[in-house]
Every structure is written in C-alpha cells, then in structure tokens.
Structure 1
Amino acid sequence: MTNLRTLQFANLDEAVQEVRALHHNGYTSCGEWSLGQICRHLTLVQTPSVDGYPAWMSLFAFMRPAMRRWLLPKLRRPDSPRGIRTASIFVPPDQVDDQEEVEAFARCVDRFHAHHGEYAPHPAFGRMSRAEIEEIHTLHAAHHLRFLRHNES
C-alpha cells in the first residue's frame, strides 16, 4: 500500500493553490487518476451544490442522519477511506488536459464562493450551511489530491 500525503486545507482556495502548484511543478500519481482527472471529478461533484443534484440522488435521503453520524467523522480524518465508489456521473474520462481541468476547477471554486443563497442538499448529508458544505468539498479535495506527489526539483 502506497504512503499517501497527509493534506489538510483550510478552504477551497487552498485546494486551488495546491492544484496549480502540482501543475506548475509537475507531479507523480500514486493512484489511478491524473491531476486533470481529479480536478474534473472535484468540479463534477462540487457543481451540483450550486445547480442541484439529480433527483435520483435523494432516493436515500432517509439515510442522511446515519450518514452524518457514520461517514462524516471518517471523512474528517486525514486517512479518509479509500475505494468508496462514486456515481458514474462523477467519474472523469480517461483523457483530459491537466491545464484545462485545473483552471476549470478554479472557476468552479470561484462560482461556489460567488453563490448567494442556500446550497443544494448534499446527497449523503442533507442540507448544510455554507461553511459545512465548503468543508465537505475541501475534505474531498484533500482526499483526492493526497494521491499526487510534487516532483522533486
């Protein structure tokens, strides 16, 4: 099992700084996805917070209290669980351009911050405050970006 980086970001802006640094300095992947694929995935997952999630993602809304108690504490740990399958709509394609996806993720973060009003209920955790939903997306970014190591200069 590969040793992954321990990453924690205070906010999504720090995650954007990290993806830009990885792109600028080069990176080595210790996982299955490239920087571009991770950025596309983060964008795909984050965008519905503003635009709304597909209706089918609310079918298990009755499980949200249990998910908050069981899964949320695990996601807050630096060694958050690996291998949790994601919905196919959030899986990035095999071939993406790192530069384009880094900038798309940065624009997505800007759009997230510019949003006024409530965010869409999270499929697993339900309605959350602005700070809570940013925390979820920040934890998610750290979870995936820990699989990328900066290249040595």
Structure 2
Amino acid sequence: MGALRDLKFETLGKAVDDARQLLATGYVRQGNWSLGQICRHLVLVQDPSVDGYPVWMSWFAPLRPLMRRILLPKVLSGDSPRGIRTAPMFMPPDNLDDGSEVDAFAASVERLANHSGNFAPHPAFGRLPRDRILEIHAAHAAHHLRHLRCRDETS
C-alpha cells in the first residue's frame, strides 16, 4: 500500500468534486472501503446533522467538553484517529454502485448547504455553529477519501 493522499477540503463541495474525479478516472483503494462505501458512510454520518441523531448517542454528552478540547482539533487538522470502529448504523454495506453513491453524497452535501435551521448537536462535540459542523464534515470526508488514489496517479 502506498502513502495516503494529503487531503483538506475547504468546503464539502470540494469533497464532492474529489469523489466525482475518482469516479471519472477510476481509483486504487488504499483502505478497506470502495468509493461507494465511503460515500454511503459520509451520507449516513452527515444526514443526522439535519434529521437528528439517535437518542442513545446523547448518552455521551458529559464527555463533549473533553472531546471538543482533545479530539476536535485533531479532526479539523486532518489528524483524525484511524482504526476506530464506527457504530453499526454508520457502516456501509458491500457491493455498492460507486456512481449512485457519489450522487447520493452530492445530494446530501447540497441538503446540508441549503439547510437553514440549526444542525442537531454532534454526538461527540455537541451543539456547534453551522460553519464548524460543515468544517467537521469536510474534514471527515477528507479522512476517508484520502484512502483512494486516482488510477492515473503514479505515486
């Protein structure tokens, strides 16, 4: 396996552009998930910002100040922890169609961008301003999409 791409997206729209580029050129996996699986995971994680998270995720609310202080700066700097198991509800199935999932990711991003109300409190970080929630989702997208490299890249 080669080195992971060094990615940072200024906006979630840039993450969609990257996913579309990977779809167009083909890609090499440097992790466990395909482009379709990554896009499905991103949708599963992003959509609750609008729709709300399951009640059980609020059980971790007492840890939010600590998570905001310790984990949030790592997430935003691109130094997200690797190898942490995600909740089953956020796990993508196998054998997804990359094109359909990229389109669904783009639709989710557009929905977030057009959402005029408050976002639901983040399970780990609590209620945050709109720009910070979008920044977290962009960093999360970069964390996963960095595991795919355009097929025509030599390094």
Question: Do both proteins adopt the same fold according to a TM-score greater than 0.5, normalized to the shorter chain?
Answer: yes
Residues 65-120 of structure 1: CA distance to partner in whole angstroms, max 9, x if unpaired?
A: 00001111111233432112111000000110000000000000011111111000
Do 2:50 and 2:120's aligned partners in 1 also have CA atoms closer than 8 Å? yes
Q: Partner residue of 2:111?
A: 111
Query: SS state of the match for residue 117, structure 1?
Result: coil
Q: Partner residue of 2:131?
A: 131
Distance 2:17 2:38 in 1: 14
Q: TM-score, normalised by structure 1?
A: 0.97
Q: Partner residue of 1:146?
A: 146
Q: TM-score, normalised by structure 2?
A: 0.95
Do 1:48 and 1:120's aligned partners in 2 also have CA atoms closer than 8 Å? yes
Ranges in structure 2 where 5+ consecutive residues have no aligned partner? none
Q: Are 2:42 and 1:42 aligned?
A: yes
Distance 2:63 2:2 in 1: 33
Distance 2:81 2:6 in 1: 13
Distance 2:93 2:73 in 1: 30
Query: SS state of the match for residue 80, structure 2?
Result: coil
Identical positions, percent:
61
Count of equivalent residues: 153
Q: Are 2:70 and 1:70 aligned?
A: yes
Distance 2:57 2:46 in 1: 14
Which aligned runs of 4 or more in structure 1 are off by greater than 4 angstroms? none
Ranges in structure 1 where 5+ consecutive residues have no aligned partner? none
Give the counterpart letter for 1:24 in structure 2. Answer: A
